[in-house]
Structure 1
Amino acid sequence: MKKVEAIIRPEKFQSLREKLEEVGINGLTVSEVAGCGQQKGEQGLFRGQSFEIKLVPKVKVEMVVEAEHVDEIIKIVQSTCSTNQIGDGKIFVYSVEDAVRIRTGEAGLQAIL
């Protein structure tokens, strides 16, 4: 099992969710996050005063999937969320040792299917 974590632009989330559902990926954890990287924040304007926003709002989408689906998911995230601009986000892939469904006690792949 692998955990795929994508940090994306908030406006791209709905289309990503639809594309993932089309290929049968329904189990997601979604968090509103903020961060900065090469984008280094943005300039804001409030009542005529300019200020710097150091952390940019993003959405973190996490899913635990069978290892053979990882390449397909990465392609979907890239094709759906890319604007070819700095700040499109990142994808991280982690190995998952085990998963347990709390309600039934099922473990491993049975817990995530």
Structure 2
Amino acid sequence: MVLVRAIIRPEKVGIVLSELLAAGFPAVTKMDVYGRGKQKGVKVGEVYYDEIPKEMLLMVVEDKDKDDVVRIIMKYARTGEEGHFGDGRIFVSPVEEAYTISSRKKGL
């Protein structure tokens, strides 16, 4: 199992979630987050914004599904053909174990 963490633009969340659901990946946790990437924030006129609003999607999926999930997020979170600064990041980490609290079952 792997944990897929995607930090994306808020306006892209709806389409990304819809496409993940359509592909058979309904389980997701969504969080409002703020931060900056390599661009170190944004300067608009005289105002500098170093905490930019984003959304973080968290999903635990089977190893065999990782590439499909990453592909969907990459395709639908990107702005335009070329993409732009601030489109986001995807992090993939191993998950050793998972448990369902209500049933006490191990696994997804």
* Shared fold per TM-score greater than 0.5: yes
Which 10-residue stretch deviates more, 50-59 or 21-30? 50-59
Distance apart, 1:39 and its partner CA:
2.7
Query: Which amino acid is the alignment partner of residue 18 of structure 1?
Result: S
Q: Which runs of 5+ in 2 are unaligned?
A: none
Query: What number of residue pairs does the alignment pair up?
Result: 105
Match 1:56 to one of 47, 52, 73: 52
Query: Computing the radius of gyration over CA atoms, which structure comes out larger, 1 or 2?
Result: 1
The CA RMSD measured in Å over matched residues stands at: 1.2
**Alpha-carbon distance in 2 for matches of 1:59, 1:39:** 18
**Alpha-carbon distance in 2 for matches of 1:78, 1:100:** 28
**Alpha-carbon distance in 1 for matches of 2:53, 2:39:** 12
Distance apart, 1:44 and its partner CA:
5.0
Misfit runs of 4+, over 6 Å: none
* 1:8 aligned partner: 8
Taking the TM superposition and a 5 Å limit, the aligned residue runs for 1:62-81 are 62-81=58-77
Q: Which runs of 5+ in 1 are unaligned?
A: none
**Alpha-carbon distance in 1 for matches of 2:57, 2:84:** 20
Query: Which amino acid is the alignment partner of residue 76 of structure 1?
Result: I
Distance apart, 1:61 and its partner CA:
0.1
SS of the counterpart of 1:61?
strand
TM-score, length-scaled by structure 2: 0.91
**Alpha-carbon distance in 1 for matches of 2:18, 2:37:** 27
Query: Which amino acid is the alignment partner of residue 40 of structure 2?
Result: K
Residue identity over aligned pairs, in percent, reads 36
